[in-house]
Amino acid sequence: MESRTKHTYRTLLSELAKDVLVECPNCARQALVNTNGETVYRADKIKVRVVCGHCGYNKDLERIWVRNKQFILGEAIDPFFHLPLWLKIELGDHLLWAYNYEHLRFIEEHIAAKLRERNGFEHHKSRSIGARLPRWMTAAKRREEMLRAIEKLKAK
């Protein structure tokens, strides 16, 4: 059960790992790993470039890297350049992170659905989608805290 949950979340991560927001390696402000809306699985077909709108830093992903497919999923770094993610916040022993606002919205909607489920609404719907998130994210005692943290990240 646990491994199945992890597997599903990993699949989901690969779908969301595109146009990733990162910390600029030069000025530490928000930069974008631009994949033109394509995911890691099409990295060999597309031009991937990190661009910072603040200081002008930019770098293309090297083709040799793409051939060796050294992308990393499931950590608080972008899968391509391995730069620290922009959207991340500590929550107790855990680190909540998201590749981009779409990913953050996904997490938020599922936790909000879990809260509604507790109040007797949307029972069957939220059960199926909630199963796609790691257990620590959907733990009942953590839901309100998670939503507050997400609000903070949106304003970052």
Print the binding letters for residues 6-45 with Zn ion: x by CB under 5 A, - otherwise.
------------------x-xx------------------
Q: Does 57 bind Zn ion (CB under 5 A)?
A: yes
Residue selected from 20, 33, 48, 52 as contacting Zn ion according to rule CB under 5 A: 52
Query: Using CB under 5 A, which of 7, 55, 70, 82 touches Zn ion?
Result: 55
53 binds Zn ion (CB under 5 A): no
Q: Distance (Å, rounded) from C-alpha 67 to C-alpha 81?
A: 14
Region binding Zn ion by CB under 5 A among candidate stretches 3-11, 46-54, 93-101, 113-121: 46-54
DSSP, collapsed to helix, strand or coil, labels residue 135 as helix
Residue 62, judged by CB atoms within 10 A of its CB (0-12, 13-18, 19+), counts as exposed
Axis crossing angle, helix 2-16 with helix 101-118, rounded to the nearest 10: 140
CB of 28 to Zn ion, least distance (A): 7
**CB neighbours of 41 closer than 8 A, spacing ≥ 6?**
14
Binding residues for Zn ion, rule: CB under 5 A, are: 24, 26-27, 52, 54-55, 57
